[in-house]
Structure 1
Amino acid sequence: MWRFIKGVEKPQSKRKAIDTSYFKEYDKSKRSRKFSEKWTETYSWLRDSASGMTCSICIDHDTTSKGSNSFINGCTSYKLDSIIKHEKSKCHQRSVLIQSGKSKPIEKTDAAHVIHSLNRENFNKLEKMFRNCHALVKNNRPLSDFTWLCDLDEMKGLDLGKTYRNKGYANTFIDCIAELEFKKVCEVIERANFLCIIGDGSTDSRIKEQEMWFVRTCVEGKIDVKLIGISALDKASAENIVKGLREILNQNIECEWEEIMARLVCLACDGASVMVGHRGGVSALLRKEQPAMITIHCMAHRLELCLKDACKSVHLFNKVLNTLIMGLFYFYHNSSLNRSTLMNTFEVLKGDDPKEKLLLPTKAGGTRWIGHHHRALTNIVTSYKYIVTHLSQLKETGERVSADSKSKATAYLRLLKSKEVVYFMLFVLDFLGPLRRLSLALQDQDGLISSKHAALASTLSALERLKER
């Protein structure tokens, strides 16, 4: 009111005047606050910087409150209370959640669980389709079988939906399965200190050269042999083979060539000159980059070559295998009439003995594996009386068969009734038994080198006993 009355001065304040001398003395003697290293023992995210205290979690993950969050730019209030307040703040807690979410594998995050629960039905349908594609690849079936496999699942009562059920998506599913499997191979390679690369060549249905590559490792006593890929070659030269190996290592395994070479100790392959040549072979090219590498000729393949060389000068061996066994195979394989009449002969002669069985002649050529020769000879010897009886019927003049079949039956019958051929077949069957077991032991990918030597010693002992018998 005093402002509106003339001649009245402003009344004095009843509050006592504040004595500022105390604050002046405090300013002179107050303590200087600074960062304490003990705080980091409780608050692991706390950092000290030239601009003040900072939060490592908020700096990395807080993208919404950088202007208002003093622990991003630097907090100069070196007080424990400020640290506690920041830890309880919403921006810090949000940053902690973001960090924990990013540190988990994608499939274990909350978002992945939410997506999985929302799409559980679709995932169940895709899982059945992936299993069908995996079965096709494992059993060497064409991709066109994928459609009717899905139809079969529908007939069984399984719900696969109406989408993705075609050849194109089957190829996509197989690519995804292969990518996941190659990641597993990469993990095995990363754990191994030493590697052995195994290579072999073949031709596909287009008569195009293919080179298959495997890697063999041993980690903590566990032996693994994994496929690393198949490279298609225009020409099977040593340079192209090495180039194809580099490409599949880069594409499928995503491993650096220098890293593989640093751990490579061995190349295992067949005895072809393009692989083991001392000057221009694949082993020679790899040895330029890894001088400590050794080359091992496949032991099972060496056994096959030894047998071939040993029997090369034996006239009866070629006569029995190439002429008689292969001839009988094609004689019954290419003619359904000959095959059916042989079965009828068996039904008449077998009697009531349930142990009697008919084994059709099989192919002994095509590969050099001893097991194929042993099986072909076993089938001929087991079904000897039925085959001889059937061929005797075909050569009779009253049988209505072609002149070609009749002349072949006469020739094969003459060989089967030859004393030296029968004796030689039984002789070959005797010594192929131990060699077959040795070949299978050498092909065992999980066996150790000590077991191979034991199998070799056992085979030599068995052959010595056959000699004495």
Structure 2
Amino acid sequence: MIQLIGHSVLRDLLSDIREAGMFAIMADETSDLSNKEQLSICIRWVDSGFKIHEDLIGFVHVIHTDAETLSKAIKDVLIRCALPLSQCRGQGYDGAANMMGHLRGVAARIRQEEPAAIHVHCWAHCLNLCLQEASKSCHIIRDSLCLVSEIAKLIRASPKRSAVFLKLKDQVSPDAPGLRPLCPTRWTVRTGALLGILSNYDVLIDTMAQINDECHDEYGTRAKGLLNQLEKFHTFFGLKMCYLIFSTTEELSMLLQNKKTTLDEASRAAKVLARFLKHQREEATFAGFYQGVRDAV
């Protein structure tokens, strides 16, 4: 029954896309929980009222992730959906070599058959790569992100340790957000994890102290190490700096992923963010930020 309903919805959707005439392809591959590679395929199109649509067509299980396999999978989906490749006017992928290699990548292979299918590197992915490379060169940000990840793993991996944290949280800051794990690949979506640590900073210190006292195993040792780090001003400063950077870059990322965002809006937003980050490097601005962190300790 679910399959029949899905086919009905897909037929109606494809009918609207074919009526629009032109479309663009967006695709990305990733492994699911069963460790199988899944290729997601979306179609971007504009209706007669100039309203932009981005619709998921489906997932395709692929054995290999080389350019030839992925391009064949995309063309096979278009054939099955009765969407002529000759009507494709755009391609949107990440920056992996198998997707955007200028000679044998997926984008190049499809353009060989339809030159009008212009490829655009996903803007949000560009921002993600930029943050990833920049963060690697700054030790305080790198160490702060590792700390956030270790705290979340230590507490969330055990119901007993989670209960200790939640009990203390209810006593000290019941309205504060909970702990969230860091996404290992999406660098622009880290504000929630950082906010969870900063909002429960005192609670986490008490939690680590209690785990250290009650656990006489490796987890008690890890809690002691995390406690030592949390009690340092350097750690709190690094977390506040991370939150400052990632909260602003996340706003740009959300804008770039909005299907209604125009090229001009994206360009202006990126320039505003660049000016903001440059402004944070000025002596007066940094002094104000530093004093704000000290006052918050």
Query: Which of 342, 348, 365 is matched with 2:183 structurally?
Result: 365
Measure the CA separation in 2 of the matches of 1:357 and 1:428.
22
2:99 is aligned with 1:275: yes
Mapping of residues 379-458 of structure 1, within 5 Å: 379-395=196-212, 399-458=213-272
Query: In the TM superposition, what is the alpha-carbon distance from 1:207 to its structure 2 partner?
Result: 1.6
Greater Cα offset, 237-246 or 188-197: 188-197
Partner in structure 2 of residue 235 of structure 1: 64
The alignment's C-alpha RMSD in Å is 1.9
Q: Against the structure 1 CA distance between its residues 190 and 417, is the aligned structure 2 distance closer, same or farther, given a 3 Å change threshold?
A: same
Distance 1:182 1:456 in 2: 36
Residue identity in the other structure for 1:393: Q
Q: CA deviation at 1:367?
A: 2.7
Structure 1 CA distance for aligned equivalents of residues 69 and 41 of structure 2: 14
The 1:224–1:359 alpha-carbon spacing in structure 2 relative to 1, beyond 3 Å, is closer
The answer to whether residue 19 in structure 2 is matched with residue 174 in structure 1 is no
- Of 34, 44, 52, the match for 1:223: 52
Seen in structure 2, the aligned counterparts of structure 1 residues 430 and 254 have a Cα distance that, compared at 3 Å, is: same
- Note closer, same or farther for the CA distance 1:347–1:218 as it changes in structure 2 (3 Å cut): closer
Tell me how far 1:358 sits from its aligned partner: 4.0
State yes or no: 1:317 paired with 2:141: yes
Aligned partner of 1:310: which letter?
Answer: A
Query: Map of 1:350-361 to 2, 5 A cutoff?
Result: 350=173, 356-361=174-179
Work out the CA distance in 2 between the residues paired with 1:274 and 1:262. 22
Q: Which residue of 1 aligns with 2:23?
A: 195
Q: Does 1:377 align with 2:200?
A: no
CA contact (8 A) 1:208 1:232 kept: yes
Does structure 2 conserve the Cα–Cα contact (< 8 Å) formed by 1:228 and 1:249?
A: no
- Report how far residue 428 of structure 1 moved: 1.4
- Deviation, 1:317, is 2.1
Distance 1:321 1:377 in 2: 8
Counterpart among 59, 66, 74 of residue 245 in structure 1? 74
Paired AA for residue 453 in structure 1: S
Closer/same/farther in 2, CA of residues 330 and 314 from structure 1, 3 Å limit: same
State which drifts further: 226-235 or 298-307.
226-235
| Paired AA for residue 246 in structure 1 | K
Q: Whole-Å Cα distance in 1 between the matches of residues 219 and 211 of structure 2?
A: 8
CA 347–289 in structure 1, closer or farther in 2 if over 3 Å, else same: closer
The 4+ residue runs of structure 1 with deviation greater than 6 A are: none
Instruction: Give deviations 1:191-231, integer Å, cap 9, x for gaps.
Output: 22432111110112332211111111123311111222322
* Matching of residues 107-146 of structure 1 within 5 Å: none
Name the SS of the counterpart of 1:234 in structure 2: coil
Structure 2 SS opposite 1:267: strand
Asked whether the equivalents of residues 28 and 41 of structure 2 are also in contact (C-alpha less than 8 Å), the reply is yes
CA contact (8 A) 1:199 1:268 kept: yes
CA contact (8 A) 1:268 1:295 kept: yes
Report the AA paired with residue 368 of structure 1.
R
How far apart are 1:453 and its partner, in Å? 2.5
Q: What is the distance in 2 between the residues matched to 1:359 and 1:226?
A: 32
CA distance in 2: counterparts of 1:279 and 1:230, whole angstroms:
26
Contact kept, 8 Å, 1:325 with 1:361, in 2: the verdict is no
Q: SS state of the match for residue 214, structure 2?
A: coil
Q: Using the alignment, how far apart are the partners of 2:34 and 2:209 within structure 1?
A: 42
Q: Distance in 2 between matches of 1:325 and 1:424?
A: 11
SS of 2:281 mapped into structure 1: helix
* Shift of residue 382, structure 1, vs aligned partner: 0.4
1:336 is aligned to 159
Does the CA-based 8 Å contact 2:67-2:104 persist in structure 1?
yes
Q: Assess if the C-alpha contact under 8 Å between 1:203 and 1:210 holds in 2.
A: yes
How far apart in 2 are the matches of 1:271 and 1:369? 15
For residues 400 and 204 of structure 1, do their structure 2 counterparts lie closer, same or farther at Cα, with a shift above 3 Å needed? closer
Q: Secondary structure at the match of 1:377?
A: helix
Identical amino acids, percent of aligned pairs: 24
Number of equivalenced pairs: 282
- Write the distance in 2 (CA, Å) between the matches of 1:433 and 1:234: 38
The match for 2:293 is: none
Once the two structures are TM-superposed, the CA of residue 415 in structure 1 deviates from its matched residue by 1.1
**Cα deviation per residue 1:90-136 (whole Å; 9 max; x = unaligned)?**
xxxxxxxxxxxxxxxxxxxxxxxxxxxxxxxxxxxxxxxxxxxxxxx
